[in-house]
């Protein structure tokens, strides 16, 4: 299952972040803002519990989040989305998965994994700006499930039909939320029109 976040505010910011003339400072700010909007939607169905709170006037029946939240950015570009979701849920724990795409095979290679104990039994939110071939996302979900995660959500900024299909075939139980579903992958497995190399644009590096 995937959901496109087509809110005008998200789409306005997406137009700016795509622009080749948007520098790395503005790109980071926009990634944070867009992430917050997408995660707001992605977390709308998480578990809550009823609590009572004493207001200055009377006792109020309220709701509080009733699950451990674990944010898992895929290194390195996923780090650029971390601030956005932590502004929304500052009590969330953070795990990291390091994956890179082999330039020859185009397959993901794992080089780092550090996850909190709350991964087991909690709600895990994988964040990565680009869901292109879907290989890294599938690998990250595989790692989380192997670590005991049963509730996983994927949040990205831009994706494409090929990536969505691959993830949904491998993990149909994992919902995907995105600000854009672009046209296709090119021969180099980059999303078209996309927004370029998200890691390089986030951190001001060159490919």
59-77 in b/e burial notation, b at 16+ Cβ within 10 A?
eeeeeeeeebbbbbbbbbb
Residue 106 predicted with pLDDT over 70: no
Which one is predicted more confidently, 185 or 109?
185
Q: Name the active-site residue from 22, 32, 120, 197.
A: 197
105 is annotated as an active-site residue: yes
Q: Name the active-site residue from 32, 67, 93, 101.
A: 101
Listed residue (202, 94, 74) closest to 140, CA to CA:
74
91-127 in b/e burial notation, b at 16+ Cβ within 10 A?
ebbbbbbbbeeeeeeeebeeeebebbebbeebbbbbb
For the purposes of burial, counting CB atoms within 10 Å of the CB of 4, is it exposed (0-12), middle (13-18) or buried (19 or more)? middle
Q: How far is 7 from 124, CA to CA, in rounded Å?
A: 24
Listed residue (32, 10, 41) closest to 181, CA to CA:
10
Q: Which residues contact 206 (CB under 8 A, 6 or more apart)?
A: 200
Listed residue (13, 46, 19) closest to 32, CA to CA:
13
The verdict on pTM exceeding 0.85 is: yes
Tokens representing 62? 């309220």
For the chain, which residues make up each domain, given as ranges? 2-203
Least confident of 98-112, 132-146, 178-192: 98-112
Residue 193 predicted with pLDDT over 80: yes
Give the confidence band of 110 by pLDDT, cuts at 50, 70, 90.
confident
Domain 2-203: give its CATH architecture: 3-Layer(aba) Sandwich (3.40)
Q: How far is 128 from 131, CA to CA, in rounded Å?
A: 7
Give the Å distances, CA to CA, from 35 to 42, 54, 189: 10, 33, 23
19 is annotated as an active-site residue: no
Per-residue pLDDT at 155: 97
pLDDT, tens only, 58-105: 999 999 999 999 999 999 899 999 999 999 999 999 999 998 777 777
Tokens representing 154? 């994927």
50 is annotated as an active-site residue: no
Average pLDDT of the chain?
Answer: 93
The DSSP call for residue 108 is: E
Least confident of 11-25, 96-110, 180-194: 96-110
Instruction: Please state the φ and ψ torsions of residue 35, each to the nearest 5 degrees.
Output: -60, -40
Q: Name the active-site residue from 52, 55, 91, 105.
A: 105
Per-residue pLDDT at 207: 57
35 is annotated as an active-site residue: no
Residue 132 predicted with pLDDT over 90: yes
């Amino acid at each position: 299952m995937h959901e496109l976040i087509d809110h005008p505010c998200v789409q306005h910011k997406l137009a700016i972040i795509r622009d080749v003339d948007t520098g790395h400072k503005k790109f980071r700010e926009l990634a944070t803002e867009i992430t917050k909007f997408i995660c707001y939607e992605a977390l709308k169905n998480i578990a809550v519990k009823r609590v009572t709170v004493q207001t200055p006037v009377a006792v109020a029946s309220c709701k509080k989040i009733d699950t451990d939240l674990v944010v898992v950015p895929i290194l390195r570009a996923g780090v650029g989305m971390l601030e956005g979701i932590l502004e929304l849920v500052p009590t969330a724990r953070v795990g990291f998965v390091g994956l890179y795409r082999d330039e020859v095979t185009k397959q993901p290679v794992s080089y780092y994994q550090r996850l909190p104990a709350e991964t087991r039994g909690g709600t895990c939110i994988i964040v990565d700006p680009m869901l292109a071939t879907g290989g890294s996302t599938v690998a990250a979900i595989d790692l989380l499930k192997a670590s005991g995660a049963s509730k996983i959500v994927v949040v990205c900024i831009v994706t494409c039909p090929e990536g969505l299909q691959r993830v949904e075939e491998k993990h149909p139980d994992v919902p995907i939320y995105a600000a854009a579903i672009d046209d296709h992958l090119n021969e180099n497995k980059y999303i078209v029109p996309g927004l370029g190399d998200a890691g390089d644009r986030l951190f001001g590096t060159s490919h």
